[in-house]
Every structure is written in C-alpha cells, then in structure tokens.
C-alpha cells in the first residue's frame, strides 16, 4: 500500500494555511466582541510571519540547494511555494477589506477613531507634529543610498519607509530609508472631544514629517515596507562542543539570515520595489502588496483599551475542588488519589505553582527535577527553583535551548539558574526536549517517595491563562518510577531505558500508538467494541495515518480533534469513511493532547486514556523527547471523555475537515455555546456544587 500521494494525503503547508484561515474567520465573525476581533487579526499576522520564517524559508532553501525531497502528497518545494502564495494572497485581501470596511467603521461607532493624517484637524496635526519633533525626530536615522553609503541592513519584521528622493539642485533620484522605531507605541493618541478616543499611526506621523530629515531633497514618494528573514537554519549539534554557544551563534546568524519575503504598501512605486528586490535578492514571487496594515500586530494596544463591553467576559480560573483544602499539604492531597487539572478553566497558580512552592518549603523534600521548554519573562516557578537551590535542596532543570523563538529567554534563565547552583542540562543532543514533567522526591520515614506532574502544556503562567492544557498529579509508583527513569535518561543521555507505563519518544511512543490503533482494528473485525478519539495540535506522520486508514476500513469509528494542520484525508470511500476530523478555534488556544482507545471494553470508562506533550507528527515521535501518561482513575477518565465529547459536539466554534482539504464551519440553527464556553459553564457549576457540599 502506498504511503504518499495526493489521493491519500493533504499538503502540510496548505493545511497550516487553512488553520490560519480559521483564525482569520474569528476576526471576521461579528459574533465575537469587536476588540477581540482585533486581537485575532494580530494573531493571524503573527502566525503568518512565523510560517514564512520557518516553512517558506525552509522550502526556499530546498529549491536553492536543488533538494529533490517531496512532501507527503507528492509536491516539490517549488510547487509548494507556488501553492502557498496562491493561498496567502486572498487571505491578505480579506484582511485588508475587513480592516477598512468593517473594523474602522465599527471602532468609530464606539468612539474609537484610527485616523489617517489627512483626516486629522489642524489642532490634532499640530499636536502630532509637536510630539514628533520632541520625541521621535531625535531618534530617527535617515539613510540615503549612494556611492558613499551602501544599502543598509534591514532587520527582520521591522517596519520601514522607502522614500524616493529628488535632489533639489541636480535633480538626481535617490533611494532613502527610515526605520520606524520600535521604542514608541505604534498608535499615538491625539486630543479629541469628550468621550472620544482618537489615534494616528506612528508610521503616518513620520511619513508626513520627512522633509525635516531630508532638507536638500524633494520627497517624491513614500512607500512602507517590511521584510521577513529565514529562521530555518541548519545546525550541527553532534559537532558542537558547547550547545549554549551554538544556539547563541545561531541567534546571531538568524538576525542576518537571507530575506524570504518583501511586503510593500498599496500602490507601491515600481522603481523602489525593483531596487529592494535587487538589493535583497528577491524575486517578484516573494513580493506581496498589502492593502491594509503591514503589521496588524500593531492593533494590540487598541485591543487593550478599557472597553469591557467590547471584549470577552473576563474568565477567572477556578481552584480545583480538592485543592481548596489549604490546610493539607499538596503531597497529602495527591497521596489520597491522582488529581487532574484543566487550564485555563482551573487555576495554574493554585495547582502547578502550588506544587512547586510546596516542594520548596517542605523540609522533607530532597530534590526537585523539571523540564522547561517555554516559560514566561517573569517566571515564578524559576524564581522558586532558585530559592530551593539556595536553601540547599538538589534542583535539576532541563532547559530546552532549541525552543524556536524562545532561545534568548531560555538562555537567560539557564544562566541565572546555574549561578544559583541549579544543575542545568541543555537538552538531549539531536533532540528537542518537549515533554512537560516535574518530579519531587520526598523523604517519608525510611522511604523516598516520588511525586510528579505530567502535563500537555508549558510551565508558563502567562500561556496557562490562554491555552487549554491538562495536567496530572500523581504518586502512583507505576507512573513515578518511570518518571525517575525519564530524568535519568535526560541527564545521563542513555537511550537504553525501559518504560513500563509511560509512552516516551523517541523510544517506545510511536510503536505503542501503532499497536493500540492496530488493536482497535482487530477488535472491530472481531465485533468487539472499538473506538478511537484523539485530540492534539497536528497530524502529519504517514505511518500513523496509514494505521488509522486500516482501522477505518475495519469499521473503527475514529474521531480526531486537530487544532492545526491535518495531512490525513477523512471521509474517503474505501479509505477513511469512518474517520471524522474537526477543529476548534476559540478565545483560548486549543493545546491539550488526549488519546482514547476503547480496547474492546463494554464500559467506555474501562477503555484506555492518555494525555501528554506529543502530537502525531514525525518530529514529535522521532525528533523530540515527549511523554504521554496513562490515566488510570475512572473519575479522571470520565473528565477526559467529557473534554473530548464537548469538543466533538461543538456547534459554535467547530470546523469539519472535508476530504478535499477544505473546512466547513458548523452552523447551529439556534444560538449555541462553543465548547470552551460550555467547559467554563461546567467548571463554574462544579465549583458551586463543591462549595455547597463543603458548606452542608
């Protein structure tokens, strides 16, 4: 049976763009609050920027070096680049139309005015000019390209003005460039009538005050532009003597990496575009003319304005029922039974941070071990680990330096922890350590008892408010003994570790998943209960897809909740008619990974449930250290099944994947809650029930 080709698989890059199209739809959807729609516009832009840096950059290198490798659906790198552009251009037009025809008028209806320079009155123009002269003008660096000054370096994603200049005496034409400084807010507020908010963009202010920067020149034309540089750099970890030095050098190289995209404003000047193309070594296919803003991320300060009626109703994560017991130690609570927490519905500080804080304060705790993939700028967890090390506890922290776009922050924290005496390990050579695991070793009588947390998301208090993630706290030896082995593997670099319970990539995870899928196939043929439900971010591994196709052909119902791209084709007669793929895009980023297999059991709660850090992608299963843990307790399986079923029944924020690769949004005849809103509602209800029981 073939494992590639357009009839069996969907293209990864195009499917990722389909995901970003769903994000764009959240900005278009007028059922969302107005300022939240601005936030989705910013997310769309940020997503697309990262995609171009990583994926387009990588494909362009494939073309440059003549690599013949094809995608899972049989396309060459050059063919994929053409398809990517065909898919991106209509989305950019939709975004520009949304901004001009809907967002700006609706903001004005709510007394928020984003104005062009020409629409400001004389007093407002004077105020903006005064602000420019006092604050902006001294910071600017006007550059003119001539024989004495070569073409300037242009940093990645920075906003610039290209200026066509004519010398007043000689009439000679020059190219000028002014970088829009990032130290000032992108929108400057100017005075308006009472109750009105009026802003003009920093770019507009600078554009209309350029003459002071070029006094001997006539300003012939001004064109905003932005470039994107490649972030898909090759690395030789095996040959590196010092991983920290290698990543630091890679960050420097990324700053100077080759450009892969040029974005210019509407009605761009052909002479300036051609000059930029030549200097940046870009082709016409790399140039995008953008009708709206070049960076919708600039709208985030507007989205943060104090208009609560134009935003989602604030959500306050709840404290899980058992953790409302503040008199008992966290370890006593875990010892009474495994505990599952669901963020952001349930509080991260009251669960994960409390676990670490308790470990630090407990004199019986001997050691704390953690993995850190992405953390926040002011991490309370890292501060607590430093405090623990300073108090004499043994602390081991694996910091993944290769977490894309978080390398600098991780380097900083790694160095701070090393200074405090923490044993810092910089990942496993050749693999990214992506698992989310914490281990606490506690002296209890004559025994050392391990307690652990295994999660689907990062130890990051900021994203814990925005991403949906699950975490398991347990002292079950069947799990904790494997976690002890895991940390020995991470620090000792020995791949010859056996895991009795955990699924660990790159060792046993993929083989175990394939066995479980095959078991469902056998059970279906034997007329036993068979079912697969899985929720994760992306599906791309061809062997997993082929196994699911076989299971479907045997009659196994397969439900996949895939937030991002999915290379499997669902609903194809004779191949995947029993596979349904859907996606949820809402106010929170769906990030949890759950895997359910019926395992031939009559009672669904006797089936097998797993949670963890891995997606069904080749990079997760082969190129990363990932951990998936089973959920043993029936009440916790019930909660996980509830999460899955609520998502599957979403009639408000759900999209179904068609076999041709397109997505169709579900439309409810009556107003329905999205799955995230439904889970918030249920969390509050469960909280109230717990409080009522506690007070009875």
Residues with a known catalytic role: 434
Nearest 10 degrees: CA dihedral of 303, 307, 310, 314? Answer: 90
Q: Are 116 and 204 in contact (CB under 8 A)?
A: yes
Element (H, E) at 647: helix 634-648
Query: Is residue 547 helix, strand or coil?
Result: helix
Q: Are 130 and 214 in contact (CB under 8 A)?
A: no
Tokens of 671: 């107003």
Residue that the structure tokens 């950059």 belong to: 57
Tokens of 300: 């985030």
Relative orientation angle of helices 57-64 and 77-97, to the nearest 10 degrees: 150
Backbone region of residue 684 per phi and psi (left: phi > 0; alpha: psi in -120 to 50; beta: other values)? alpha
Rounded Cα distance, 335 and 601, in Å: 28
Element (H, E) at 108: helix 104-109
Query: What SS3 string covers 419-437?
Result: HCCCEEECCECCEEECCEE
Q: Are 32 and 40 in contact (CB under 8 A)?
A: yes
Residue 316, CA distances (Å) to 308, 341, 466, 501, 584 in order:
15, 15, 12, 35, 21
Element (H, E) at 581: strand 579-584
Q: How many CB atoms lie within 10 A of CB 249?
A: 14
Q: Are 226 and 158 in contact (CB under 8 A)?
A: yes
Rounded Cα distance, 208 and 527, in Å: 75
Rounded Cα distance, 361 and 357, in Å: 6
Residue that the structure tokens 């705790």 belong to: 365
Instruction: Provide φ and ψ at 657, rounded to 5°.
Output: -85, 125
Rounded Cα distance, 19 and 563, in Å: 7
Rg of the chain in Å (alpha carbons): 27
Backbone region of residue 221 per phi and psi (left: phi > 0; alpha: psi in -120 to 50; beta: other values)? beta
Judged on CB neighbours under 10 Å (0-12, 13-18, 19+), 497 is middle
Rounded Cα distance, 202 and 606, in Å: 60
Q: Are 542 and 568 in contact (CB under 8 A)?
A: no
Instruction: Provide φ and ψ at 16, rounded to 5°.
Output: -65, -40
Query: Is residue 385 helix, strand or coil?
Result: helix
- Among 474, 457, 506, 486, which residue's Cα sits nearest to residue 618? 506
- Among 21, 1, 3, which residue's Cα sits nearest to residue 73? 3
Nearest 10 degrees: CA dihedral of 232, 40, 643, 469? Answer: 50
Q: How many CB atoms lie within 10 A of CB 580?
A: 18
Rounded Cα distance, 55 and 57, in Å: 5
């Amino acid at each position: 049976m073939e494992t590639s080709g357009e009839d069996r698989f969907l293209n990864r890059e195009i499917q990722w763009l389909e995901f970003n199209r769903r994000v764009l739809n959240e900005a278009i959807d007028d059922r969302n609050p107005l300022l939240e729609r601005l936030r989705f516009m910013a997310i769309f832009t940020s997503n697309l920027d990262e995609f171009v840096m990583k994926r387009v950059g990588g494909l362009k290198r494939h073309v440059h070096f003549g690599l013949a490798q094809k995608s899972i659906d049989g396309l060459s790198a050059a063919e994929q680049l053409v398809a990517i552009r065909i898919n991106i251009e209509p989305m950019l037009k939709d975004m520009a139309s949304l901004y001009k025809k809907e967002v700006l008028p609706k903001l004005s209806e709510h007394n928020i005015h984003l104005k062009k320079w020409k629409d400001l009155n004389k007093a407002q123009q004077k105020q903006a000019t005064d602000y420019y002269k006092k604050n902006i003008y001294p910071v600017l660096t006007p550059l003119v390209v001539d024989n004495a000054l070569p073409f300037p370096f242009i940093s990645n994603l920075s906003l610039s003005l290209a200026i066509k200049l004519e010398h007043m005496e000689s009439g000679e034409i020059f190219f000028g460039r002014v970088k829009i400084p990032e130290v000032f807010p992108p929108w400057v507020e100017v005075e308006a009538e009472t109750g009105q908010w009026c802003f003009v963009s920093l770019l507009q202010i600078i554009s209309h005050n350029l003459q002071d920067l070029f006094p001997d020149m006539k300003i012939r034309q001004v064109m905003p532009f932005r470039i994107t540089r490649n972030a898909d750099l090759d690395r030789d970890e095996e040959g590196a003597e010092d991983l920290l030095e290698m990543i630091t050098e890679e960050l420097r190289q990324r700053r100077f990496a080759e450009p892969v995209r040029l974005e210019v404003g509407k009605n761009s000047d052909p002479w300036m575009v051609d000059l930029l193309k030549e200097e940046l070594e870009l082709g016409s296919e790399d140039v995008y003319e953008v009708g709206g803003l070049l960076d919708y991320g600039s709208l985030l300060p507007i989205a943060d304005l104090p208009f609560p009626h134009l935003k989602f109703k604030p959500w306050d994560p709840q404290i899980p029922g058992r953790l409302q017991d503040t008199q008992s130690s966290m370890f006593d609570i875990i010892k009474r039974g495994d505990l599952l927490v669901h963020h952001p519905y349930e509080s991260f500080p009251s669960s994960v941070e409390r676990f670490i804080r308790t470990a630090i304060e407990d004199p019986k705790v001997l050691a704390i071990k953690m993995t850190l993939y992405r953390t926040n700028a002011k991490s309370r967890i890292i501060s607590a680990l430093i405090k623990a090390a300073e108090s004499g506890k043994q602390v081991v922290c694996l910091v993944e330096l290769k977490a894309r776009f978080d390398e600098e922050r991780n380097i900083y924290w790694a160095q701070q922890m090393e200074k405090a005496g923490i044993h810092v390990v910089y990942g496993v050579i050749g693999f990214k350590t992506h698992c989310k695991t914490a281990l606490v070793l506690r002296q209890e009588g004559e025994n050392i008892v391990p307690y652990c947390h295994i999660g689907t998301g990062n130890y990051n208090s900021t994203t814990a408010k925005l991403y949906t993630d699950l975490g398991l706290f347990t002292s079950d030896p069947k799990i904790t003994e494997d976690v002890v082995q895991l940390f020995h593997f991470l620090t000792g670099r020995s791949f010859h570790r056996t895991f009795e319970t955990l699924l660990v990539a790159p060792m046993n995870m993929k083989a175990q998943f394939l066995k479980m899928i095959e078991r469902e196939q056998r059970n279906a043929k034997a007329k036993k209960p068979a079912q697969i439900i899985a929720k994760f971010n992306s599906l791309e591994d061809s062997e997993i897809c082929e196994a699911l196709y076989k299971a479907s052909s045997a009659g196994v119902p397969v439900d996949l909740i895939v937030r991002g791209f999915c290379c499997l084709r669902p609903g194809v007669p004779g191949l995947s008619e029993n596979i349904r793929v859907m996606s949820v895009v809402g106010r929170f980023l769906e990030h949890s990974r759950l895997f359910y297999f019926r395992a031939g059991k009559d009672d669904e709660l006797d089936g097998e449930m797993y949670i963890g850090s891995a997606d069904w992608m080749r990079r997760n299963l082969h190129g990363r250290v990932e951990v998936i843990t089973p959920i043993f307790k029936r009440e916790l399986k019930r909660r996980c099944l509830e999460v899955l079923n609520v998502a599957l029944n979403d009639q408000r924020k759900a999209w179904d994947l068609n076999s041709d690769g397109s997505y169709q949004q579900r439309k409810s005849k009556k107003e329905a809650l999205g799955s995230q809103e439904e889970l918030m509602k249920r969390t509050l209800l469960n909280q109230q029930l717990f409080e009522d029981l506690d007070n009875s």
